[in-house]
Structure 1
């Protein structure tokens, strides 16, 4: 059967219980056409207006849609294994189409997509919202999002504590220590010794004004000084108190004690209370090493 050049809406074609294998529809108007209980494998639609088309209870596996406008497309209650829409997935247990051997639906994949404002490689995700989801194992560029969020929440809580109102200040002095001054007789020898003990390159520590240098350490600073204004020119050198001038911190007290002993340091006490020991530097300053 062949129908040509019928442009008026006067004809109605009804085909029932027939084979249309190899049929072609070209340059046709076909509004409100219905295919029901029809086998259409390898069915092709090209250069066509399918706006507001409806597909229901159909097998569209391995179907290819390319160069298409799918704006406002809604897919509901469909199997998309290998491909949120909503109510998507293989039949659940109890559904007439459920099979015990159906396994899991293959993961979905989105690439080179314009997803701005949507709710996952080489895509625009600006404005995307992910809410009330299980994100265990979700990664973005290799970063575990769940761990990242937990760290972010912990930092927010920490910031909140810091922002709590503090009591009125009773003094203009800050509640933290500054650098500790260590009187020495020979600034270069003292610098070299301290750098060797603390693993600091001596060439990175410069002597300033011919009599002092600041050691690059974490926490409170250490300043070595021959103190020319405070008795440094006296034969015995600058006077010192008979108590430790400052403490050095360690994570391994026993190893630190052995290290000092190996380097011939004058140890004043053994390890006390499993927490500290005292020693003297080459200038006789009494110091401590404490467990951090």
Structure 2
């Protein structure tokens, strides 16, 4: 099984995000016997894939369609994907890890390699008959090669557009490596949604939420639902903090007024230890805010 992934991003060297010209030529194509020829946005295709949970091999993702039997048995817990997601998480926290040399070092550490790459020049529309040699004056001392190269340097921005980058792949791992290499070398922002926890690409490096449907509210997106949920969580956290402080003060004053009562002092010290344990359980997700508040009321 063999397939190629080809990418172009931007027109005349410009990125595709924001209000700049939207131009993409990105497709995944089977080389042998395949009718598969999918045009899709690289960032979404890659981040959707590494965000899949469970048995990935049963999904209908383009990577799976292209790789065929080579991805049998692969799950979200497979060693390659676990390591890849950890590397991406590190890169999100520290952009230095997304330098190309760091990425190549990561591949080497995992016994992986970058798929073979091809760069195909793309001639701009209307320049199909142009010749680079026409942009250089005749000079007897120039060899044909020198004239051609000088002509290219002088004419490349006039005749040629952004080149097409093609990776020759055979496995799902190749598809992931090729996608991530292209994203890194083109300074795309790879982020993790603070609402649904899935990966996404954004024009801004400080974007917190993706455009997927929120898993907590099917009627809206993470971009809208995320800030609302974050605000509610902050309000709950403030209420919780005030409730804990109030309870501590009440128990302390009771102990202070009855300094001869050792049982009350022991109870107060026990409460201080228990509230720390409960807060750790709350922070780890083992208990809910409602469960914590109910426990606090019982003290």
When normalised by structure 1's length, the TM-score is: 0.20
Q: Which of 1 and 2 has higher RCO (CA within 8 Å, sep 6+)?
A: 2
Identify the structure with the greater helix proportion.
2
Structure number with greater Rg is: 1
